[in-house]
Amino acid sequence: MNTTPDSVGLALPPLSLYVHLPWCVRKCPYCDFNSHELKQDLPAERYVEALLRDLELELPLVWGRSVQTVFIGGGTPSLFPAEQIERMLSGFRAVFAIAPGAEITLEANPGTIEHDSFSAYGDAGVNRVSLGVQSFDDGCLQAIGRIHDRRQALGAIESLHESTIRNFNIDLMFGLPGQTTEGALDDVRRALEAGSSHLSHYQLTLEPNTAFHARPPVLPDPDRAWEMQEECARELSQAGFCNYEVSAWALPGSECRHNLNYWAFGDYIGIGAGAHGKITLPADRAVRRRLRKHHPNDWMAASAEGKTIALDSAVAANDLAFEFFLNHLRLRDGVPKQRFEQRTGLPWDAIKSRVEQAVVGGLLEENAERVVPTSLGWRFLNDLQALFLP
């Protein structure tokens, strides 16, 4: 089926694997992810068995391709014992190729490093950790419903330093209830002191279908939030960090390879409850989106019959350009024109008028090879992305 009229030919992008482990000790009031409060014993063994069955459904679509990165997200994956993480990764390697030196990330929360140390997760095959600190201020942590405190956050970081895992990210939020600009800066400084080479730094937003959306806390006003963002950006820049993606900062060479593949419109398998995937099929001239059943109990039950897929459809030609730019414009170095053609199968002329409109509006700069957001485009990214809506 031709889903890309006037196609110039699709090329296979890098392939990643996302694994969703959906349980948390307690649902955070700002969280809109597919996460579920653990109200009984963790069904770790049963869930891992279902993951391995779920993966087999993807093999016909990615046969012969190797996986460059693995990201185990949630939920709180560190609720799973290292033994099950090792079993999971060994099972993945048994059915397809994971590239030598692949980045394998585990999300973890400071308050839930109960099962095993980071040394055990490192021995299991994890070589990168994304630690959900969010803040080092106990008052702010309590205000956003986190179950850990500053002491536990520092203890988790110390545990990381004692392990073989040297590559780790610290998640921080700003614009928290009661937070001052100096408080937001102090969080960034403490994260830098912790020795992380990568920081995710994003503003607290009130998402639909969350407790905070139903009962909004009092947040800093937009001007104060902007001041926090600017001051923290200055601090990170002075420390040698680059803002390579809208909410991600890294020392050169420490960028998250998995997320880079997302934003660059790469391919990824998504397994586990509610996981999303994107697969390019050049022979069909199609890019497919696949979605798993949402609730973990429904998904586990369906895995026994190989029926975990809730949605499987080709991205319409009119949506491909928008999806590409929605993702790729999050990257500071912009959009290579050749990559647009290779990963959408569309000619550059298909969006040339949109690009020219953005250039005239001062949101993009263009040269022969790529388009790059200006400082104005970076600040008003939503408006820039909206120019590429069908």
Q: Structure pTM? A: 0.95
256/167 same-domain check:
yes
Tokens for 195? 């020795």
CATH number at residue 144: 3.20.20.70
198/57 same-domain check:
yes
Establish whether the linkage from the previous residue to 345 is cis, with ω within 30° of 0.
no
Smallest Cα–Cα separation from 66: which of 366, 337, 266? 266
Tokens for 243? 């803002």
241/110 same-domain check:
yes
Whether 182 is covered by a domain: the verdict is yes
Smallest Cα–Cα separation from 385: which of 267, 263, 207? 263
113/243 same-domain check:
yes
pLDDT tens string 324-345: 999 999 999 999 999 999 999 9
44/175 same-domain check:
yes
pLDDT tens string 298-322: 999 999 999 999 999 999 988 999 9
- Residue 8 confidence (pLDDT): 67
Q: Which domain holds residue 197?
A: 15-261
Q: Which of 219, 244, 261 is the last residue of a domain?
A: 261
39/187 same-domain check:
yes
Tally of domains in the chain? 2
CATH number at residue 354: 1.10.10.10
pLDDT tens string 98-144: 999 999 999 999 976 555 789 999 999 999 999 999 999 999 999 99
Q: Which of 227, 261, 295 is the last residue of a domain?
A: 261
Percentage of residues of the chain with pLDDT beyond 70: 97
pLDDT at 54 over 60: yes
- Residue 5 confidence (pLDDT): 41
Whether 296 is covered by a domain: the verdict is no
116/182 same-domain check:
yes
Residue 201 in 3-state DSSP? strand
Task: Report the C-alpha dihedral over residues 152, 153, 158, 163, rounded to 10 degrees.
Answer: 100
249/350 same-domain check:
no
Q: Which of 241, 261, 281 is the last residue of a domain?
A: 261
Whether 165 is covered by a domain: the verdict is yes
